[in-house]
Amino acid sequence: MKKFDKDRLLLGVAGPGLALVVAFLLTSVVLLVSDRDPIEPYRLMLETAEFTDVQVNILNQAGTYYLAALAVAVGFRMNLFNIGVDGQYRLAVMLAAVVGASVELPGPLHILLIVIVAMLVGALWAGVAGILKTTRGVSEVVSTIMLNAIATSLIAWMILPANLGEQLPGSNDLTTGEIAESGWFPGLAMEGGTIYGFTFVAFALGVVYWFALNRTRFGFDLRATGASESAAQASGVDSKKMILTAMLISGAVAGLVGMPLLLGQTHTYSLSFPAGVGFTGITIALLGRNNPIGIFFAALLISFIEKTSADLDQFGYEKEIATIMQGLIVISVVVSYELVRQYGLRRQQQKVGEELAAQARRNKEEVAL
């Protein structure tokens, strides 16, 4: 039986491997076509990665992405496409920052309050899409995209000084006020900078994700629904309840996406908070095959590309190469996974057929003897 397991692992690695090779080759083609050196940018990026401050940046960014990808992956595991992670995260981090700045509590409680508010807001925002889907049959893809836009406008309005925000003297930026020091999450000071404490929480959440999906009844129901909704329903899963629950969980995790940055560095929400993290999360969840370990490496890779490409401009290469690379990764991932999946299925069917035939022959021989 071990053989089949090894096969599965091999096929599991083959998908992303193939995708990455193809993506990098295609990027080189793009570079060649635009009269650039097709290899040099990679070398420059690897060189940049040798600086310890860049390394810390990569890790911190990976933590944020890891959370975003987990949020997406929870939905993916049951065929829900939560495109709204981005809106959920921004709305959540903003309101959490507002609440965090308005109270002062003993350390751990203060942090806990901020985190819980963020999760609730994220879940609530995703829950809107969940309710729309279960009661009115609205596709979650459409509603979450719309909710992203609504979240953007809502944040822009709420952060006005007349409402919840404040404008610092001598700055155009609007913020939500600084959170008291009791609400700062301690980090790990390194040579090149500080690794946000919440980054470790993010990776720990991967373990929780794995356990909940693979070792609990709830996780089984969720995976069954993703594998075959009709079969899951016949097996007794209430699909509407499942959709809503999955959406709420996905939103709650999305709410955490802004926590490493908020609790570890900025301590306030401002207009300069990064947007688009949720979309990168989709790429990473795809690349990591919704697997917590896969997502970890995918998050590292994507933040590596992002952080090390920033300096390419200085050497005469456009840093947009990184964006092209990411886009190509997504395309090749989708194609190569489907190819590998079909190949794997066919191969296994063949193997089972062969083994059964061999078994039958053995039986026959025994009878003959």
Partner 1 sequence: MHALVGENGAGKSTLMKILYGMQKPDEGTITIDGTQVGFHSPADAIAAGIGMVHQHFMLADNLTVLENVVLGGEKLYGIGARARDKIREISDAYGLNIRPDVLLEQLGVADRQRVEILKVLYRGARTLILDEPTAVLVPQEVDALFDNLRELKAEGLTVIFISHKLGEVLSVADEITVIRRGTTVGTADPRTTTPKQLAELMVGSELPSPETRESTVTDVPMLDVDGLRLTATDPDGVVREVLDGITLTIHKGEVMGIAGVEGNGQTELIEALMGMRDPDGGVITLDGTDISHTPTRKRREDGIGYIPEDRHRHGLLLESPLWENRILGHVTERPNSRKGLLDLKAARKDTERIVREYDVRTPGIEVTAASLSGGNQQKLIVGREMSHAPKLLIAAHPTRGVDVGAQAQIWDQIREARREGLAVLLISADLDELIGLSDTLRVMYRGRLVADADPATITPEELGSAMTGAATGHLEHNQNGEGR
Task: By CB under 8 A, name the binding residues for partner 1.
Answer: 1, 4-5, 214-221, 223-224, 227-228, 230-238, 345, 348-349, 351-353, 355-357, 359-360
One-letter amino acid for residue 175 of the chain = T
Least spacing, CB of residue 234 vs partner 1, in Å: 4
Indicate the residue among 5 and 366 with the shorter CB distance to partner 1. 5
Indicate the residue among 323 and 363 with the shorter CB distance to partner 1. 363
Q: Is the dihedral of CA 61, 64, 67, 69 positive or negative?
A: negative
Least spacing, CB of residue 9 vs partner 1, in Å: 12
Residues 6+ apart with CB under 8 A from 132: 138, 140, 143
Residue 84 neighbours by CB distance under 10 Å: 33
Q: What is the DSSP letter of 367?
A: H
Indicate the residue among 15 and 165 with the shorter CB distance to partner 1. 15
- Whole-angstrom CA distances from 203 to 54, 60, 72, 206, 300 are 19, 11, 15, 5, 12
Round to whole Å and give the CA distance between 255 and 26.
Answer: 35
Indicate the residue among 212 and 275 with the shorter CB distance to partner 1. 212
Least spacing, CB of residue 359 vs partner 1, in Å: 8
Least spacing, CB of residue 74 vs partner 1, in Å: 18
Least spacing, CB of residue 60 vs partner 1, in Å: 34
Strand, coil or helix: what is 123?
helix
Least spacing, CB of residue 249 vs partner 1, in Å: 16
Q: Is the dihedral of CA 169, 175, 176, 180 positive or negative?
A: negative
Indicate the residue among 323 and 349 with the shorter CB distance to partner 1. 349
Round to whole Å and give the CA distance between 165 and 294.
Answer: 39
Indicate the residue among 271 and 345 with the shorter CB distance to partner 1. 345
